[in-house]
Amino acid sequence: MRHLIAGNWKMNGLRSSLNEITKLKSLLAASQRAVDVLVCPPVTLLERLVVAAKGTVVKCGAQDCHASASGAHTGDVSAEMLSEAGAEFVIVGHSERRADHAEADVLVKAKAEAAQRAGMMPIICVGETQNERENGRAIDVVTNQLLGSLPNSGEFVVAYEPVWAIGTGLVPTLADIEEMHGVIRGKTAPAVRLLYGGSVKPSNAGDILQVANVNGALVGGASLKADDFHGIIDAYK
């Protein structure tokens, strides 16, 4: 399958940040790696990024969506709105959404199905906390999240992001990543792309992306700079 490197800008980026997309376009044109590239900016930059990325291999996505197509949901954005703005993917169930907004698996599943309804590909995030891993519950926690968050049918991507590794510089061992991705693969079809996320950077991407059942990466901070993001993409050389 064709692998996917996805960048999640989180709540970062103003109009000037699109200069990094211009630079990324030049870097990708020179390297031509056989990998799909996705950038998920703040919703305020989505349409501008779609325009900036036009004619390149860079795909555009969103970081979240509401489960309903429309309604009295002040401050929320529906999957249909994001699709109309040019998003092809949408991240759902990120640990920061689960923690900061108390999003449960049932809501994550509804959002994933909303993304499918609007013609987008959901990237469904799962992952354990440090306490859950230290208490030997990592596999059970991730399995339960997965089974509760996946849509009943249709296509989707799964991203395994150990919560304790996101933005901390900490990374599980390659054996731990392989074990968890093996568990997830056992619950999903062979064609489902499984991404690893959690302090992925150019210096460790080469090793991580060679692990069995790792079909790409969901990248946080390192996706904000074209050089760093391209360094991860370039691991596929």
Give the distance from CA 139 to its chain's centroid: 20
Contact assessment for residue 72 and residue 104, using Cβ atoms and an 8 Å cutoff: no
> What integer best gives the mean pLDDT of the chain?
96
* Whole-number pLDDT of residue 142: 98
Mean pLDDT to the nearest integer, 67-84: 98
Reported as a single tens digit per residue, the pLDDT across 147-171 is 999 999 999 999 999 999 988 888 8
Mean pLDDT to the nearest integer, 193-221: 96
Q: With cut-offs at 50, 70 and 90, classify the pLDDT of residue 48.
A: very high
- Is residue 94 annotated as part of the catalytic site, yes or no? yes
Q: With cut-offs at 50, 70 and 90, classify the pLDDT of residue 21.
A: very high
**Runs of H (alpha helix) within 11-103:** 18-31, 46-53, 79-85, 95-100
Q: Can you tell me the distance from the alpha carbon of 231 to that of 212, in angstroms, rounded to the nearest whole number?
A: 21
Q: Which one of the listed residues 128, 161, 181, 230 is annotated catalytic? A: 161
Q: Which one of the listed residues 3, 20, 66, 94 is annotated catalytic? A: 94
Reported as a single tens digit per residue, the pLDDT across 220-232 is 999 999 999 999 9
What domain count does the chain have?
1
Q: Can you tell me the distance from the alpha carbon of 10 to that of 197, in angstroms, rounded to the nearest whole number?
A: 13
Whichever domain contains 103, its CATH number is 3.20.20.70
* Whole-number pLDDT of residue 9: 98
* Whole-number pLDDT of residue 31: 76
* Whole-number pLDDT of residue 85: 98
Identify the bridge partners of residue 5 per DSSP, sorted by sequence position: 37, 217
**Range of 195's domain?**
4-236
